[in-house]
Amino acid sequence: MAEQARRRLARMFEDHAPVLRGFFVRRGARQDAEDLVQETYLRLLRAHEGAGEPIANPEAYLFTVAQNLVREQAARRRWSTLPIDEIEQLGQGLASGECVEDAAEREQRRQHLQTLLASLPEHTRAVLVMQYRDGLSYKQIAERLGVSPHMVKKHVVRGLSVCRRAMAEPVALR
């Protein structure tokens, strides 16, 4: 019986996936729409498996979950849009070189790092900020962003790689 219900949910989900995708795109989640569609389905399956009683109206539940995901994403986006000025500590951690740099070179590196961080994908930038500025662990960051610790590690590795490569290049005087 459980397998039959799971197949019924999968069929319902297949029918509604394009509508959900459009739902997320219209609410500003164009890049994350496919991931949000999958997360909606996973939450539906978890609720179905964890509930003592079957979900009375799976279709309504599906769209309630989708709406909640949109709200969660909006909250994460608001939280992660921090002023680049506050990330100077990250710049000091990433910047390598002589211990005693003159003030002009330090300022130039700081500005370069700010521009670089602003160019990173939103999630990668948020993860770096939470790790280096806020001192959060991968697990804490994962809980706040609603992703796995493994995904947090990927964002850190990707972000640090981009930052280190770009910071190692000499900055042209403007």
Say what percent of the chain tops pLDDT 70.
78
**For the segment 76-86, what is each residue's pLDDT rounded down to a tens digit?**
766 655 555 55
pTM for this prediction: 0.43
Q: Which domains does the chain have, with CATH numbers?
A: 2-80 (no CATH), 84-168 (1.10.10.10)
SS (H, E, C) the chain: CHHHHHHHHHHHHHHHHHHHHHHHHHCCCCCCHHHHHHHHHHHHHHHHHHCCCCCCCHHHHHHHHHHHHHHHHHHHHHHHCCCHHHHHHHHHHHCCCCCCCCHHHHHHHHHHHHHHHHHCCHHHHHHHHHHHHCCCCHHHHHHHHCCCHHHHHHHHHHHHHHHHHHHHCCCCCC
Residue tagged 């799971």 (tokens): 6
Give the least confident one: 7-16, 55-64, 77-86. 77-86
134 compared with 150, residue with greater pLDDT: 150
- pLDDT confidence of residue 173: 43
Q: Is the pLDDT of residue 93 over 60?
A: no
- pLDDT confidence of residue 106: 72
Region class of 28: left (phi > 0), else alpha (psi between -120 and 50), else beta: left
Q: In whole numbers, what is the pLDDT of the chain averaged over residues?
A: 77
Q: Is the pLDDT of residue 7 over 70?
A: yes
